[in-house]
Amino acid sequence: MTSDDGPRAPRRAGRPRADARPVVGDPTDEILAATGRLIGELGIGGTAMSRIAAEVGLKQSSLYYYFRRKEEIVAALVARANVVPLELVRTIVAQGGSAPAQLYRFVRADVIALCALPFDINEVHRIAARDTEGFASYWKERAVLERRLAGILRSGVRAGDLRTVDPRLTALTILANDEGVQNWFRLGSRWSSRAVGVQLADLVVSGLLPPGSDLASVAAEADRLDPEFR
């Protein structure tokens, strides 16, 4: 054997793993990916640290080199998940359009994004609710999301494009709806996430339109800005 026998994994510092498999990528990312998959199947409570460790080729205690506590893994996981709706509402508001159309686009895309998550978002909420400190940034981002959504609603109500409703209560209700729905539809079931997103967007927006307004024209406006739905 000469100097080169293929792209051998670069030798890493530190004690080698008992399971002598080569290390593929950043262990942190591997742990997050494995945990996402596992809690999707087994739930957070049902996913043991030893199971996660086995999945990535480590012993249980070695996980604590990368994360101090199990919840820290969950927090890192959900931090990523939180970025999507925030980014979504940001770009939708930036792109403008009528309030109903913005709302329509948000609900539709939010549902689809949530359904794509490997785990149940509500379960994570529950963990996060019991550990406000560890999930402080999560709740901060969530508050921003709520405010932005309420902002859309408020301007829609003011412009007469939406029925008169409490913007904050309605924003929270809409987010709760999106999340309540993902639990039931995220696993293929009978309906595609796309169909569910469209359905809920129809329901919510149509439910907020003032008498005499037409849902179809709102949907058409939304579709003009979301090419993938044309």
Partner DNA sequence: CACAGGTTTCGATGACCCATCGAAACGAAC
Partner DNA sequence: GTTCGTTTCGATGGGTCATCGAAACCTGTG
The reply on whether position 117 binds a second copy by CB under 8 A is: no
Gyration radius (Cα) of the chain, Å:
22
3-state DSSP assignment of residue 126: helix
What crossing angle do the helices spanning 215-225 and 193-208 adopt, rounded to 10°?
130
Residues 116, 188: Cα–Cα separation, whole Å: 10
The entry of a second copy, DNA, none that residue 165 binds, CB within 5 to 8 Å by partner kind: a second copy
Q: Is there a contact between 101 and 209 (Cβ–Cβ < 8 Å)?
A: no
Nearer to a second copy, 155 or 213 (CB): 213
Between 56 and 109, name the residue whose CB sits nearer to DNA. 56
CA dihedral 22, 26, 32, 37 (to 10 degrees): -40
Among 40, 54, 183, 229, indicate the residue that binds a second copy (CB under 8 A).
Answer: 183
When asked if residue 205 is in the footprint of a second copy (CB under 8 A), the reply is yes
Which residue is associated with the tokens 């796309």? 194
59/224 with CB nearer DNA? 59
Instruction: Quote the CA–CA distance of 144 and 86 in Å, as a whole number.
Output: 8
Identify residues 22-61 at the interface with a second copy (CB under 8 A): 42-46
What residues between 71 and 90 interact with a second copy by CB under 8 A?
none
By the rule CB under 7 A, 61 interacts with DNA: yes
What are 206's two structure tokens? 């149509």
User: Residues 36-55: x/- map of binding to DNA (CB under 7 A)?
Assistant: -----------xxxxx-x--
Q: Supply φ then ψ for residue 137, to 5 degrees.
A: -65, -35
Assess 91 for contact with DNA (CB under 7 A).
no
Residues forming contacts to a second copy in the complex (CB under 8 A) are: 42-46, 120, 122-123, 125-126, 130, 163, 165-166, 168-170, 172-173, 175-181, 183-185, 190-191, 195-196, 199-200, 202-208, 211, 214-215
